[in-house]
Every structure is written in structure tokens, then in C-alpha cells.
Amino acid sequence: MKFAILQCDDVLDNLQNEFVSYSFMIQRMFNAIDDTFEIDIFNCQLNEYPDDIDAHDFYITTGSRAGAYEDIDWIQQLIKFIQLLDQHQKKLIGICFGHQLIAMAKNKSVKPSPKGWGVGIAINRITATPDWMHETKSELNIIVSHKDQVSSLPDEAIVIAESDFCPYFVVQWNNNLLSIQGHPEWNTDYSKALMNERRAIIPADRIEAGINSLSLKPDNTLFTQWVLDFVKH
């Protein structure tokens, strides 16, 4: 199976020696289950895209510091590419920023949440089990780092996981679009390092609660299996 990573940001320069890149984290996420994937990386900030959308079995975005609603050329081009993938019923997995971009591509809204920053491991209720899903549980624990949230959905969308803090945490938009507000590709070391880097913009009590939450085990493998179930369905 061959997939493409749509890279939307870089790890902070001073963290790259230890944590490399977001594309590296996504490759590691899938390799933990199956190391036979062929993987291509396209830097969307440089407007890099495949010449043939049928050359990959599915696509997956990274997160980004940017806002999905920002009027920036590369973001607008990526929204158009997502719409193209959707028109051709190509499978796309949106992570965090990508989750929000799918909402924008569907003409739905993304806004800064009045609840503020979500950091650390978020505990979410699993509220739906589509027929493609082979394994599930009652809760999904995933690392998060976001202030913006999807605030509306189309009628056909299915909310798979939710919390009081983030009501649209995992969403199946249709038969080819699946997304998550969290970061199943991150590990707890990176989450802690990034929280410490962002102490100037995230309230101290929110960071301390986030760091304490990292004692939980994130369900990265479960969500990765969901992705594989979805793209093979």
C-alpha cells in the first residue's frame, strides 16, 4: 500500500534533533503496525502536490501552527486539493489542522474555542462504531495541542469520538474522509517538550494539567488501526 503525507508544518528548530519532523512521526506511527508501506511526502507550504491523485491509496495531513481559516495562499491551495480528493472519492485522513481543513473544504466553520487550549492527553467517549471498524473500546485517549475547533458539521457526518471539551473529536465526514482533532502520531515526550516551549502562550495551570495527563497511555495504535480499516474498506 502506498500513501502520501501532506506536510503542513515543521517541528520547532530546537526540537528537531530529538523529534525530527511531523512526517517522520507519521511514518513511525504506521511502521509500528506495518513497515511495508510506500510513503511519499509533499510539502504543502511550498505548494507541492502529486501529479496524479490516483498514484496513492490514501492521503494524510500533518498538523500545523497555522489556522485553517487563515487567508494564506498555501492554505487555500490545500483546501482546494482536499476538495479535489473528495470529488474523486480518494481517501484522506486529517490530523488536527487537517481535521479543521476538511471542515473548511466542506464549507463548515472552524473557530478559536472559548474553552481555550487543549493540551496533553484528552479522554474522549467513543460514540459510534462504523461497520469498517474492527476494534473499539469505550474511550479514546489521544494527545492534543489545539485552541481552534471545528464548530459545525454537515448532516451526513458521523461523530465517532467526542468530549465535553471537544464535541467533534473524531469525525467520519463521508465514505472517504476521516479526521481527528488530536495527534495519534505524537508521543508523550514530544507533547511535554512542546508544552514547555509554549509556556508564553498557554496558561500555566493548563500546561501543568496537560503534563500530569501524560501518565495515561495514548491510544495511538488503536487509531492507526482505525485508519487502516477505513482506507481498506
Residue 88 appears among annotated catalytic residues: no
Q: Where does residue 192 rank: exposed (0-12), middle (13-18), buried (19+ CB within 10 A)?
A: middle
* Cα distances (angstroms) measured from residue 115 to each of 67, 175, 209: 17, 31, 14
Annotated catalytic residue, options 44, 56, 99, 185: 185
Residue 183 appears among annotated catalytic residues: yes
* Length of the chain measured in residues: 233
Closest C-alpha to 96, from 132, 146, 142: 146
Residue 70 appears among annotated catalytic residues: no
Annotated catalytic residue, options 56, 99, 146, 183: 183
Residues 6+ apart with CB under 8 A from 30: 3, 37, 39, 224
Q: What is the DSSP letter of 218?
A: P
148-150 and 139-146 beta bridge pairing: unpaired
Annotated catalytic residue, options 8, 44, 96, 166: 96
List active site positions: 96, 183, 185
